[in-house]
Amino acid sequence: MARAPQTLFDKVWRRHEVSAESADCPAVLYIDLHLIHEVTSPQAFAVLRERGLTVRRPERTLATMDHSTPTLTAQVFGGTPIALEAARRQVRELEANCAESGVELLGLTHSQRGIVHVIGPELGLTQPGKTIVCGDSHTSTHGAVGALAFGIGTTEVGYVLATQCLLQRKPRTLAVNVSGELRAGVTAKDLILAIIGRLGVSGGTGHVIEYRGDTMRALDMEERMTVCNMSIEAGARAGMIGPDETTYRYLEGRPRAPQGEAWERALEAWRALPTDAGARFDREVDLDAAGVEPMITYGTNPGMVIPIGGAIPQRPGDAAFGQALAYMGLTPGEPIRDQPVNVVFLGSCTNARLSDLRAAARLLRGRRIAPGLRMLVVPGSQQVKRQAEAEGLDRVFLEAGAEWRESGCSMCLGMNGDVVGRGEYSVSTSNRNFEGRQGSGARTLLASPLTAAACAVRGRVTDPRELM
Amino acid sequence: MEPFTTLSSRTVVLPGANIDTDQIIPARFLTTTTRAGLGEHLFADWRYHPDGSPRIDFVLNRTEAQGCRILVAGRNFGCGSSREHAPWALADYGFRAVISTELADIFRSNCLKNGLLPVRVEEPTSAWLIGHPGAQVTLDVAAGTLTLPTGAAVSFPLEAFARHCLLRGLDELDYLLERRNEIEAFERRA
Ligand code: SF4
């Protein structure tokens, strides 16, 4: 009998079942790659110590530091101590935990350090068909190569350290089918914001999304990562894209990708991964890419999003909506265009890869940011930083009046010293506009690197196509 | 973990939808390397003024909220980050159950690992609870029921394995450690 057609997700899931789920018990799922960072791992190591356990497969875990670490060169390299005491403690604790357990650490001054979701693919560790977890919800980023990658809590970080496994119920599948060509000035970030606007912030709950269709096939790997990164903002466990020639070209020759004969073998296995024709998804949603405009958020979750030329919706009688807009200091029914902006943040695991920096630099070249505006450019990894400098992008940013930093999560979340002030408006290329996310009282508008650059130049919310 | 069988308490209500983990515990409090003490910072930006004084209009600062161990929240509670600091903060504050029409996936899983019962109810029950803050309700893990002060009992979904762990105070790590032979066999196959 012919095997029933399977989805990419089904194939990866089944290959990692140590034992399948039953009515009484979740599946035991084997984890190929575990990424850890300084904020969500200390308590997991503490539990291991309390229970007298050791790390079962240290070579399957890689540690880096990104969330609480400073981005000022002097504090990273210059012998100036890390300003925040708590960050200092977390850095030291991760160093000690890795030394004790034999887990490899790309530490503060390592040339390959960076945001955990940027360095995995960059090193070629993120590979099709792998199961990948990290104590961080944006682990979904790694699904761009056709891996099953999802965020876990700290207790589960401990489970993976101790057993290399997790107990999981099999999620449902959701196909997001996108066809058509993105228009000029419309990026992968706009596309995923449009998808979240369509699904809603809990529309993907309980599901793994597979992004499909000719639009997805046409995206390069970094764009696919931007899309998969924000799957969690629609509530989904993970986002995946079937591997193809674009994926293989991206991975070939990366330091931790298979080499030589092992590469050929891997390639053969990867080619069998994409969803079979006729495979069924639990749900499907279709979207026309040609209709997508540059998008921007106006509220306090990523689903509160509109085309940049649009007006802020009105929802009389919806108290929570009213509160969100009061927090944002924005008025229903008004256009978002020309809203004054105080800060522009170009960074995060969503949009701080080389192509993102290039896109913003193209628009900023020969221009200056608006007087009084602060623009922070934070590359996703130290490698991205060096590549950008080799291309002279740092000069473009500095000459425009922006700050150029060492890599890290920075202003994406207000815990490392890089914050947006109370009441200030920030146009940010990151993934979350929650109340207080970028600092207590900060007001975040999420957008693409192109839009962020345009807003920096004008000091107001600006459609990037006006400056292109 | 302590076994979790039944819980009777008055409720505290936060009616808004999509209350995210950055509201439950803002990132600037994730600087700890232990689990304890986060309750103080629970909902910090709603609970305190920038100068640290309490906002008297926030529900947790009202006298009738003291001692409540069940939180009723709007749809999609706990969305956002995977930070387990969110359930740690809720549990450290004294909550033992969260009721909503929908709980975000990772948050829900993190709750179960910290003796915090995630209770998903249908819209009418949620609307009743939101309309009756401070109602005395009872949760029964074995039966999987929520009993309202009206005497009405509604059931909530709880999968068999989670129920088993809660009732006996077991944790999943013991279960996984016992699967050692199977895990080794898998590694040899792979
Ligand atoms: S850049 Fe932001 S979203 Fe990405 S891992 Fe860091 S804190 Fe999380």
The DSSP string of B4-22 is --EEEEEEEEE--S--BHH
**Which amino acid type is present at position A125?**
L
Cα separation, B32 vs B43, in Å, equals: 16
Q: In this model, does residue B82 exceed pLDDT 60?
A: yes
Nearest to B19 by CA among B68, B66, B89: B89
**Which amino acid type is present at position B11?**
T
Contact (CB<8Å) B180/A163: yes
Mean pLDDT over B92-98 rounds to: 97
Contact (CB<8Å) A136/B82: yes
Exposed, middle or buried, B122 (CB in 10 Å: 0-12/13-18/19+)?
A: exposed
DSSP-derived secondary structure letter, B100 = E
- Residue reference for tokens 């803050």: B133
Residue whose CA lies nearest to ligand 1 atom number 7: A409
What distance in angstroms lies between residue A25's CA and the mean position of ligand 1's atoms?
Answer: 33
* Any A CB within 8 A of B154 CB: no
**Which amino acid type is present at position B104?**
A
Contacts of A75 (CB under 8 A, 6+ apart): A81, A82, A83
**Pair B119, B126: CB distance under 8 Å:** no
Cα separation, A143 vs A225, in Å, equals: 8
Instruction: Give yes or no for residue A67 CB within 6 A of ligand 1.
Output: yes
Q: Which residue of B has its CA nearest to A92?
A: B33
Q: Which pair of structure tokens corresponds to residue A121?
A: 């693919």
* Any A CB within 8 A of B181 CB: no
Q: Enter the pTM of the model.
A: 0.95
**Pair A65, A107: CB distance under 8 Å:** yes
CB atoms under 10 Å from CB of A119, counted, come to: 26
Q: Which of B46, B102, B114, B172 to mutate to test the interface with A (most CBs of A within 10 A)?
A: B172
CB atoms under 10 Å from CB of A389, counted, come to: 13
CB atoms under 10 Å from CB of A51, counted, come to: 13
What residues in B contact A165, CB-CB < 8 Å?
176, 179, 183
Contact (CB<8Å) A46/B34: yes
CB atoms under 10 Å from CB of A144, counted, come to: 32
What residues in A contact B111, CB-CB < 8 Å?
none
* Biggest distance spanned by C-alpha atoms of chain B: 61
Which pLDDT does position A418 carry in this prediction? 96
- In which band, very low, low, confident or very high, does the pLDDT at B81 lie, cut at 50, 70 and 90? confident
CA A14 vs CA A8, A61, A120: distances in Å: 10, 22, 23
What distance in angstroms lies between residue B5's CA and the mean position of ligand 1's atoms?
Answer: 38
pLDDT digits (tens, 9 = 90+) for B111-166: 999 999 999 999 999 999 999 999 999 999 999 999 999 999 999 999 999 999 99
Instruction: Give yes or no for residue A207 CB within 6 A of ligand 1.
Output: no
* Any A CB within 8 A of B168 CB: no
β-pairing verdict for A148-151 and A165-168: unpaired
β-pairing verdict for A305-307 and A295-297: antiparallel
CB atoms under 10 Å from CB of B140, counted, come to: 16
Contact (CB<8Å) A67/B80: no
Q: Which pair of structure tokens corresponds to residue A264?
A: 């050929």
Choose the residue to mutate in A64, A71, A117, A118 for probing ligand 1, maximizing ligand atoms within 8 Å of C-beta.
A117
What residues in A contact B179, CB-CB < 8 Å?
18-19, 28, 163, 165
Choose the residue to mutate in A35, A36, A41, A66 for probing ligand 1, maximizing ligand atoms within 8 Å of C-beta.
A66
Instruction: Give yes or no for residue A348 CB within 6 A of ligand 1.
Output: yes
What residues in A contact B17, CB-CB < 8 Å?
320
What residues in A contact B75, CB-CB < 8 Å?
202
Instruction: Kindly give the parts of chain A with pLDDT less than 50.
Output: none
Residue whose CA lies nearest to ligand 1 atom number 2: A412
Which pLDDT does position B35 carry in this prediction? 84
**Pair A41, B83: CB distance under 8 Å:** no
Q: Which residue of A has its CA nearest to B160?
A: A24
Q: Which pair of structure tokens corresponds to residue A26?
A: 């979740």
